[in-house]
Amino acid sequence: MEEKLYPMKFDPIFLDKIWGGQKIRNILGKDYGELPNCGETWELSGVGGKVSVVANGPLKGKPLDELVATFKEALVGREVYAQYGDEFPLLIKFIDAAQDLSIQVHPDDELAEARHNGKGKTEMWYILDADDGASLIAGFNQPMDRQKYLDFFNSGRLEEVLNRESVEAGDVFYLPAGRIHTIGKGIMIAEIQQTSDITYRIYDFDRRDAMGNLRELHTEQALDALDFDFYEEYKTRYAEKTDHRNPVVQERYFTTNKLILKNPMTLYSDGEKLRILIVVKGEGRIQWSEGEFPVGLGDVFLVPAALDEVTLVPGTSLEVLEVLP
């Protein structure tokens, strides 16, 4: 069974959104057909109703949930399977915000389990592209508590107490469940998150949908989910050494490293965890004992835990996010 496994790409799942744009096509080169825009492309998903399907190799056409159930530890790794069983642990997306997303928050595991019989949503954003002057919101800009938050919210002045940051390509924001946030217009990101699709919308700029209706808000649900703690810094700082594994985020639900390659780099597996590779710049090849294929901007690969090693070979240059659950 293990000999069948290889680095796998999956067919993107394209979602048009009220705030979506054209960068998924124009920059990442992904064709979303007749959709008016593409706000999100789900690149690797085990979420019910939006399960990814293999796009390459002998397992082409197989859904991710079937792969996990069939290959178990060989696919996701011993440690990951022991913790998550047949549930795939992470969701990988690209998001293109032509307009501001709603101001929102996600519940943690405990609250999501109690309310939705699901998982919470801790995530991180890697900025792929940002228009001049683009900004996003992550956290509060001053000490906060529930009553102070409600005072600003009820008076229509919520944005005054939110931390807004200008961004550029390469910036990273880690967003634990409970942190208030939004992606601002003109920004495209790679998002790494828990397998969850639970969002509480706090404020939507009085925007109306195609039918002229205001979108639903989740004011009360969000109150119990919010982390009111204030932090001095919300942007994640990390080193960018060439031909090194640069740690970016090392937290409970995932570890993300950035590989900036001018020379080939071999990635070894001890069989404990799968590896997800997200190409964020440049092009090159991925090689393993049975073959190789080209990789480029916007490609996402699942490298099974049972593969002892894979090698990334850059063209002129190659930048990759390496993600482990």
Q: Which residues are catalytic?
A: 201
Least Cα distance to 243 among 263, 226, 214 occurs for 263
Q: How many residues are recorded in the chain?
A: 325
Using alpha carbons, list the distances in angstroms from residue 108 to 22, 71, 196, 230, 234: 32, 29, 10, 18, 18
Would residue 165 be called left, alpha or beta, if left means φ above 0 and alpha means ψ between -120 and 50 degrees?
beta
Residue 91: which H helix or E strand, with range? strand 90-97
Give percent helix, percent strand, percent coil of the chain, each to the nearest 5.
Answer: 15, 40, 45
Would residue 23 be called left, alpha or beta, if left means φ above 0 and alpha means ψ between -120 and 50 degrees?
alpha
Six token digits for residue 5 = 């496994």
